[in-house]
Amino acid sequence: MDLRFTQEERAFRDEVRAFIRDNLPPDTAERMRLGHPPRKQDTVTWQRILNKKGWAAISWPKEWGGPGWSAVQRMIFIEENQAAPAPELLSFNITMIGPVLIQFGTEEQKRRFLPRAANLDDWWCQGFSEPGAGSDLASLKTAARLVGDHYVVNGSKIWTSTAHNADWCFLLVRTNPNAAKRQEGISFLLVDMKTPGITVRPIISIDGSHHLNEVFFDDVKVPVAMRVYEENRGWDVAKYLLGNERTGIARLGKSRERVAMAKSAAREVRFNGRRLIEDPAFRQRIAQLEVDMKALQITQYRVVSAGAKKSDGRPDPLSSVLKVKGTELLQASTECAMDAAGPMANPVWAQELAAMANEPDLFAEASEQSTASYLMLRAASIYGGTNEIQKNILSKAVLRL
Amino acid sequence: MDFDLSDDQRLLADSVTRLMADRYGFEARKGYLKDPAGWSAAMWGQYAELGLLGLPFAEEHGGYGGGPVDVMLVMQEFGRALALEPYLATVVLGGTALQLAGSTAQQGEILPAVAEGRMKLAFAHGEREARYDLPFVRTTAKRSAGGWVLDGAKSVVFHGDSADRLVVSARVSGDDADEDGIGLFLVDADAAGLARRGYTLRDETRAAEIALHNVAAVPLGEPGAAFPVITRVVEAGIAAMGAEAVGAMEAMHSMTLEYSRTREQFGKPIGTNQVVQHRLAEMLMSMEQGRSMAMLAAMSVTEPDAAERARNISMAKVGYGQAARFVSQQTIQLHGGIGMTEEYAAGHFFRRCLVIEHSFGDTAYHLARLADEVE
Ligand SMILES: Cc1cc2nc3c(=O)[nH]c(=O)nc-3n(C[C@H](O)[C@H](O)[C@H](O)COP(=O)(O)OP(=O)(O)OC[C@H]3O[C@@H](n4cnc5c(N)ncnc54)[C@H](O)[C@@H]3O)c2cc1C
Ligand SMILES: Cc1cc2nc3c(=O)[nH]c(=O)nc-3n(C[C@H](O)[C@H](O)[C@H](O)COP(=O)(O)OP(=O)(O)OC[C@H]3O[C@@H](n4cnc5c(N)ncnc54)[C@H](O)[C@@H]3O)c2cc1C
């Protein structure tokens, strides 16, 4: 046992850091430094730059374009990329659909979709949740009826992140309404978002952004060849995907970036007669976040290295620990960055600022984004299975209660 | 000790509750937001008619001689309805400044106009560099041939864009952070040299940045000795916002309770899960502690001992701020995805509480002030 990075790992970290510094487009870097979420084009461009370097499909086997990194190298890369901050690899592509196809897809599906997913030629979205099926995902109702060599899909999905940007959707549908167990009547389909009968309705979230959507399916025809794995075995695929998703939600590098943002604001502003950064309570708050980040980092390495040694490919129940602790930390660090902004956390004046572009007000812009990210990340304890559900999983799967 | 309301107070609370229930549903509010001013002139007229705009003023000024508890009752209802109008800015902040520092003539001119709904005020004290530090004032006031002139800038002035008259703090003498040497001044909103830039806050209420270049101003009270007045204006604001936060917490708690009874997952209402039940119980406990602290604030506003008053007000701001943050966060959590949407009311209450928390000193600021006094 040794917690220190090896010399190779340290060299790898430096290499990643240098690559990001030298290759991240400056306008993207500047926007993200101020705390803005990346634009669609920022994400696409950056993922293509990474893919060219062989660094996009980071968790995939080499034959499908993976870099052949160790689990530790992957963690280092993700952390550095988040902390830079640079646009994150599109998780729908890299963490979700890629590994699913590699594990469950046909050769034809792999060949058709994997290279395009790695290069973000296709933007994927996740069509799982429904109005009546959130935590209880297995109660989903969107129906797919087999007619000749097509499924005909009817129903609706909700909370579909970035569906308005997406080219393809991986969709959970009910193919057997009469199965003995609800989980046994579900299938996993790949759907071209341009198929007739699909309507995307935007949902604006409390940070004012358009990230979420409702997606309606009205007699949408999906070729049988677009089904992943066996009919009515889609739940196995979904569980595999959700386990991977959970691990990725911790986003330690993002917490690190938010804490850095809080510190840099605190160096600039007054507090009770001195700089905020000099206030002992503020320093303790930062110190506490750093303690929590360290604990999460080590737990994450433990889960990841244990996972690398397991052969069954099943997610470690400890991934629920990462999800809960990681999102608590994300929320605490965005909260800290917002509080550091002080009264500047209150205004929404991006448009005002843009109108007065002759005099960019960077502190105001960053402060506004601190509140926006605080608001948006309230969802981190909801998506990917709520934190209450994660604790239920731990109670049952680990504690056998 | 007595926590009972008088008959008059009960009547007041009932009439405001009724008005807001009739006219300030979440849908009606969306309509008010469409007004370029960002609030409803019609509702402002209703408040005037009900006597709310002069509530804390003396009868000779068209008021009702009400106290902080009366204001608390009104603000609680405004918090429950997420009222957008400049009541805090005009009646509580501006009104308190005039009551404490205004000359007989100034009070006689302005307070009746406010009570009748003809004049709106704003309290322009905060500056970008001050953050929460109350005595930090860099805007200057200089005596000139024709009177006083102000130079400087004020930041995040609540409803500064719709005010007719501004109460502006400015430094007459001393260093940036000295308590001595600050004055309060009355300035016409359309005075030459004054520029305003209005915008919305996270909760959709309005605020403004105000730039002052050689702006003619009239002293409100003795120039140079205004810090105690500023402190009391802010204390009144903290008390009023506490009541608003309580109203918002009540609304959030009851909508979450209702949701937990009706939303079903795994074949049963989510409220049948013990973890959800306990969370709602914790929210209730926080809310009741927050309510106690908002009451403490309201009842401390008129406390004559300045140190005692400051301590109580800081305790209250910490207490109700923490309660509101917890209740807000859990409201969204227990709603799941729907709580994250702009269409649903929860997020709006959440953001009102967020703005309240980052006004007049946040939790950390007031804790630090209390910590400085620990013996
Ligand atoms: C920003 C955001 C992005 C999202 N992106 C996607 C996406 O791209 N694709 C997709 O398919 N979905 C997405 N989701 C949906 C997400 O997975 C669901 O919101 C989540 O699973 C919760 O479901 P729900 O919203 O219906 O809440 P509900 O399941 O109704 O839960 C409401 C509350 O009840 C609690 N609860 C429910 N059941 C229990 C129980 N048994 N025990 C204890 N507590 C319980 C929950 O923890 C929660 O606090 C997204 C959601 C958000 C907010
Ligand atoms: C110092 C002390 C003094 C006491 N004095 C007296 C006395 O003077 N007279 C007297 O009659 N008794 C007395 N008691 C006993 C006391 O009332 C019991 O200990 C108490 O009611 C809990 O019962 P228990 O110890 O059997 O724990 P249990 O009831 O077995 O509880 C164990 C744990 O399970 C939790 N739990 C149990 N049921 C639930 C549920 N439905 N939902 C969630 N969690 C649950 C509990 O909260 C607890 O954490 C005393 C106990 C102590 C420790």
Are residues A212 and B372, on separate chains, in Cβ contact within 8 Å?
Answer: no
List, for residues A331-368, the tens digit of each pLDDT value: 999 999 999 999 999 999 877 766 666 677 889 999 99
Distance from the B67 Cα atom to the nearest Cα atom in chain A, whole angstroms? 28
User: In the prediction, which pLDDT does B25 show?
Assistant: 97
Are residues A271 and B132, on separate chains, in Cβ contact within 8 Å?
Answer: yes
Choosing from A95, A159, A334 the residue with most ligand 1 atoms within 8 A of its CB, the one to mutate for a pocket test is A159
Cα of A381 vs centre of ligand 1, distance in Å, is 9
User: In the prediction, which pLDDT does A246 show?
Assistant: 77
Q: Are residues A157 and A213 in the same domain?
A: yes
Q: Are residues A358 and A214 in the same domain?
A: no
State the DSSP code for A129: -
Q: Are residues A222 and A258 in the same domain?
A: no
Cα of A43 vs centre of ligand 1, distance in Å, is 26
Ligand 1, atom 13, residue with closest C-alpha = A159
Domain termination site, one of A38, A62, A89:
A89
Domain termination site, one of A173, A198, A233:
A233
Distance from the B6 Cα atom to the nearest Cα atom in chain A, whole angstroms? 37
Are residues B131 and A158, on separate chains, in Cβ contact within 8 Å?
Answer: no
Domain termination site, one of A200, A233, A266:
A233
Q: Are residues A136 and A217 in the same domain?
A: yes
Q: What integer is the mean pLDDT of A270-295?
A: 96
Q: Which atom of ligand 1 lies at the shortest distance from residue A388's CA?
A: 47
Give residue B18's identity as a one-letter amino acid code. Answer: R
* B107, B98 Cβ separation under 8 angstroms: yes
Instruction: Considering only the beta carbons, identify the residue of A276, A282, A378 that sits closest to B332.
Output: A378
Q: Are residues A329 and A196 in the same domain?
A: no
Q: Is residue A241 part of a domain?
A: no
Give the pLDDT band of residue A314 (cuts 50, 70, 90): low
Q: Is residue A118 part of a domain?
A: no
Q: Which atom of ligand 1 lies at the shortest distance from residue B260's CA?
A: 34
Instruction: Considering only the beta carbons, identify the residue of B266, B276, B329 that sits closest to A378.
Output: B329
So where are chain B's domains? 7-118, 122-225, 228-373
Active site residues of A: 245
Distance from the A33 Cα atom to the nearest Cα atom in chain B, whole angstroms? 22
Instruction: Considering only the beta carbons, identify the residue of B201, B363, B372 that sits closest to A348.
Output: B201
| Reported pTM | 0.96
User: In the prediction, which pLDDT does B103 show?
Assistant: 98
A159 lines ligand 1 (CB under 6 A): yes
Chain pair A-B, CB pairs under 8 angstroms: 138
Task: Please report which ligand is nearest the Cα atom of A249.
Answer: 1
Instruction: Considering only the beta carbons, identify the residue of B200, B359, B365 that sits closest to A272.
Output: B365
User: In the prediction, which pLDDT does B327 show?
Assistant: 98
Task: Please report which ligand is nearest the Cα atom of B278.
Answer: 2
Task: Please report which ligand is nearest the Cα atom of A170.
Answer: 1
A interface test, pick of B202, B314, B367, B369 with most A CB neighbours within 10 Å = B202
User: In the prediction, which pLDDT does B332 show?
Assistant: 98
Q: Are residues A149 and A264 in the same domain?
A: no
Q: Is residue A105 part of a domain?
A: no
By DSSP bridging, strand A124-127 and strand A168-174 are parallel
Are residues B364 and A279, on separate chains, in Cβ contact within 8 Å?
Answer: yes
Q: Mean pLDDT by 10-residue block, N- to C-terminus, for chain B (375 residues)? A: 91 97 97 97 98 97 96 98 98 98 98 98 97 97 94 97 98 97 98 96 97 98 97 98 98 98 98 98 98 98 97 98 98 98 98 98 97 94
B138 lines ligand 1 (CB under 6 A): no
Are residues B364 and A375, on separate chains, in Cβ contact within 8 Å?
Answer: no
User: In the prediction, which pLDDT does A392 show?
Assistant: 96
Q: Are residues A379 and A250 in the same domain?
A: yes
- State the residue range of the domain holding A144: 124-233
Note the CATH architecture for domain B122-225. Answer: Beta Barrel (2.40)
Is the predicted pLDDT of residue A311 greater than 60, yes or no?
Answer: no
Q: Is residue A77 part of a domain?
A: yes
Phi (first) and psi of residue A131, to 5 degrees = -55, -40
* A170, A96 Cβ separation under 8 angstroms: yes
Task: Please report which ligand is nearest the Cα atom of B277.
Answer: 1
Q: Are residues A251 and A216 in the same domain?
A: no
Cα of B276 vs centre of ligand 2, distance in Å, is 22
Give the pLDDT band of residue A308 (cuts 50, 70, 90): low
Q: Is residue A115 part of a domain?
A: no
Instruction: Quote the CA–CA distance of B244 and B242 in Å, as a whole number.
Output: 5
Is the predicted pLDDT of residue A287 greater than 80, yes or no?
Answer: yes
User: Closest residue of A to B177, CA-based?
Assistant: A273
**Residue B120: both structure tokens together:** 């709106």
Instruction: Quote the CA–CA distance of B226 and B244 in Å, as a whole number.
Output: 27
By DSSP bridging, strand B165-171 and strand B121-124 are parallel
Give residue B196's identity as a one-letter amino acid code. Answer: R
A389 lines ligand 1 (CB under 6 A): yes
- Domain spanning B228-373, CATH class: mainly alpha
Task: List the CATH number of the domain containing A163.
Answer: 2.40.110.10
Cα of B28 vs centre of ligand 2, distance in Å, is 50
Cβ neighbours of B200 in A, within 8 Å: 347-348
Give the pLDDT band of residue A2 (cuts 50, 70, 90): confident
Average pLDDT, chain A: 94
Instruction: Quote the CA–CA distance of B166 and B186 in Å, as a whole number.
Output: 6
Q: Are residues A308 and A351 in the same domain?
A: yes
Are residues A347 and B201, on separate chains, in Cβ contact within 8 Å?
Answer: yes
Give the pLDDT band of residue A310 (cuts 50, 70, 90): low
* A160, A127 Cβ separation under 8 angstroms: yes
User: In the prediction, which pLDDT does A5 show?
Assistant: 84
Q: Are residues A63 and A136 in the same domain?
A: no
Q: Which atom of ligand 1 lies at the shortest distance from residue A133's CA?
A: 26
Instruction: Considering only the beta carbons, identify the residue of A270, A351, A379 that sits closest to B130.
Output: A270
B267 lines ligand 1 (CB under 6 A): no
Percent of chain A with pLDDT over 90: 84
Spell out the long-range contacts of B291-297 with Cβ–Cβ below 8 A and sequence spacing 24 or more.
B291/B246, B291/B249, B291/B320, B292/B319, B293/B242, B293/B318, B293/B319, B293/B320, B293/B323, B294/B72, B294/B239, B294/B242, B294/B243, B294/B245, B294/B246, B294/B320, B295/B3, B295/B72, B297/B235, B297/B238, B297/B239, B297/B242
Instruction: Quote the CA–CA distance of B58 and B4 in Å, as a whole number.
Output: 23
Q: How many domains does chain A have?
A: 3
Cα of A102 vs centre of ligand 2, distance in Å, is 53
B277 lines ligand 1 (CB under 6 A): no
B337 lines ligand 1 (CB under 6 A): yes
Are residues B199 and A136, on separate chains, in Cβ contact within 8 Å?
Answer: no
Q: Are residues A226 and A271 in the same domain?
A: no
**CATH fold for domain B7-118:** Butyryl-Coa Dehydrogenase, subunit A; domain 1 (1.10.540)
* B57, B109 Cβ separation under 8 angstroms: no
Are residues B265 and A135, on separate chains, in Cβ contact within 8 Å?
Answer: yes
Q: Is residue A165 part of a domain?
A: yes
Q: Tabulate helix, strand, coil % of chain A (nearest 5).
A: 55, 15, 30
Are residues B351 and A375, on separate chains, in Cβ contact within 8 Å?
Answer: yes
Q: Which atom of ligand 1 lies at the shortest distance from residue A386's CA?
A: 47
